[in-house]
Structure 1
């Protein structure tokens, strides 16, 4: 995901409001959007993350566009989806909120909440998310709560305490934003979050899951996770595991992107927690396997396992081996990662030298448990270097079939 870095040189937060609005519109490049501006109804404004990230110069290549329209948001999305293609997703029929998905773009439209736009903005979660940009020839920034000042001060502050209670997921959103934006949460807002933490379990598990997935991928996730613990915000789902210190110096940037979110999630949540928050079956399996092998490695070094167990480790953690090594001393980690990076390493990337169909054709075997056992045996022999060729694999298979029982 391409993202512009934030730097003092890129800041547009020090100019006057009119100048900032023009520069922000330039950064947003509406000419690239899949829907022309003139197709939105008069009075439409851009709000939320795209405005905030544009001001901070951290827009992605395809930013999510959240817009407030005067009325009939769902009808507008349905009309635009018919005109430009894409999918219409109803987000909240009662509150008139819908999403238009067009390729890699998502555009959310919501009907104005309140008598005017100021009332709508003052019902939002945090002041940095309560800034609007008019989509007019001369764009204007609307900032009734002081979000621009918060952006300048790198501060996350709630608009109103009641707003957090209106949707308790917002309690978790502050630590997530702090992790993503490298900002601090102001003390009054921290007190609000701690005071109402028992409200979070009322939120749909899938929504909590989505926030946590974003949080563990952020640059400052470790500090945010520490904050979650101190606030006891996700206590119902937390692991009682002693926190590990992760060593990333031996990992490439791509390997860190693969390993750190999984390792953080596994360390943060209990096995029951990942189930209760309804993570995907694959994500649950990855977390449970990683935790199992972490605990096993504490009891007995993975390097001293019997062959069957060592093969099982590499079969179960082939994709996630960098995460498994994160808490190791550098020398041991480097050694394992070097082998894992070699796609030809038959132990770290185990596979059988012959598949079931080939074995059936060559040896006249029938599908069944015996065939599965043979394939596993061949995989083991190849993993530990006792089979190098197809001919050797066939002979090994014959020997196994004819073994004395």
Structure 2
């Protein structure tokens, strides 16, 4: 059974009670469309059914519907009639999304001769449970997904289904991390045998799975398995096996952090250890995400095991400028004494070094000192930021005096050289 789930209290009841309890958990009266307004013969499948049975539904669960016949025209009509938006996901396979009142409802055309054949084409048995929407509701479970939920197992329906969509190989690990379940032995062998096929999947889809995996409650166990399978080898950070921050390393320090700090630190640290900078780019991560990982990697190497004693003033300031928001990810694996001291200072938003700011902004400096925008103004702001970070100025008057002193100092050799150029 998945940890922290109350699934045993629902999965062991009679089939009639099970369907009734699931229907109540799904709260169809809150859906943006009444079940009677949905296409005739529509059935609910996939994650919402699974998560309802496991009692882990979010406030607005994504609803996946299988519909007999054409889909696109139906979804476009529903969008017009109810003020929503229709997004075509796959025109050839008749898949479309209705976005309405903050909810997402995905519609897919029934594949095969009947619902049973459709369900047997899916990835894992626990995702192949369907719920009819017409009264009386009925659970349809031809592959044995309900038993897998009881046993806490992730079992592929068929190996060919994994090969048809290789992203499902990675999804097995993501489900393991999110649901805190085990992958059964046969399915694990299928993943290992077909791992090389993952490169055929769209980079954006791989990225989406990884972002969910690294933030999941059982991420460390899933990542240990993921790395042993070499599933991400084409995008892996070189030498992760010998890194002082291993993506699968149990990060005990997180227990001394708040939940908010953990949600900030753990996913970023795991992602940085899992993927190289080129791997992040290949998988189409955002520029911001790539920069965050690159800066974290740089300072992990520079301050391995918490040794920051070799940093001079400017390097230390640069560290806190680069990682002001992401410092918890840097100190996760540091010795306790260093880690706790840095975290205590980081938690204070007024700490001038851990949250470096110039005591005077650019507009004030231009107005008070008759400066123009340019390199000199930028250098002055950096100088004042450094002075404030190390306690050499604190008040506005002190900052203005220091700025005047800095502007009237003799130019340095490098400045003279630039002027000559």
1:355–1:92 distance in 2 versus 1, CA, 3 Å: same
Give the Cα separation in 2 of the matches to 1:34 and 1:271: 42
Alignment RMSD: 1.4
The alignment partner of 2:57 has SS state of coil
TM-superposed deviation, 1:207: 0.4
- Counterpart in the other structure of 1:27: 25
> Under a length normalisation based on structure 1, what TM-score does the superposition of the two structures give?
0.96
CA contact (8 A) 1:89 1:98 kept: yes
CA contact (8 A) 1:18 1:139 kept: no
- Counterpart in the other structure of 1:159: 157
Any unmatched runs of 5+ in structure 2?
Answer: 412-421
TM-superposed deviation, 1:281: 0.5
* Structure 1 residue corresponding to 2:47, chosen from 46, 49, 53: 49
CA contact (8 A) 1:48 1:66 kept: yes
Give the Cα separation in 1 of the matches to 2:25 and 2:4: 13
- Counterpart in the other structure of 1:7: 6
| 1:109-128 CA-partner distances (Å, limit 9, x unpaired) | 11111111111100000000
Residues 1:360 and 2:366 are matched in the alignment: yes
- Counterpart in the other structure of 1:75: 73
Give the Cα separation in 2 of the matches to 1:313 and 1:87: 44
- Counterpart in the other structure of 2:398: 392
- Counterpart in the other structure of 2:419: none
Residues 1:323 and 2:329 are matched in the alignment: yes
CA contact (8 A) 1:11 1:57 kept: no
Residues 1:371 and 2:369 are matched in the alignment: no
| 1:327-360 CA-partner distances (Å, limit 9, x unpaired) | 0122211111111110110111111111111111
Give the Cα separation in 2 of the matches to 1:12 and 1:173: 25
Give the Cα separation in 2 of the matches to 1:400 and 1:81: 63
| 1:212-256 CA-partner distances (Å, limit 9, x unpaired) | 000001110001001111111111111222225522122111100
TM-superposed deviation, 1:87: 2.2
Give the Cα separation in 1 of the matches to 2:284 and 2:388: 38
Give the Cα separation in 2 of the matches to 1:370 and 1:86: 53
- Counterpart in the other structure of 2:185: 187
* Structure 2 residue corresponding to 1:252, chosen from 247, 255, 258: 258
The alignment partner of 1:342 has SS state of coil
CA contact (8 A) 1:315 1:350 kept: yes
- Counterpart in the other structure of 2:14: 16
CA contact (8 A) 1:18 1:141 kept: no
The alignment partner of 2:256 has SS state of coil
Matches within 5 A, 1:164-183: 164-183=162-181
Give the Cα separation in 2 of the matches to 1:245 and 1:217: 14
CA contact (8 A) 2:306 2:334 kept: no
| 1:360-400 CA-partner distances (Å, limit 9, x unpaired) | 11111111111111111111111111111111111111111
CA contact (8 A) 2:306 2:331 kept: no
- Counterpart in the other structure of 2:416: none
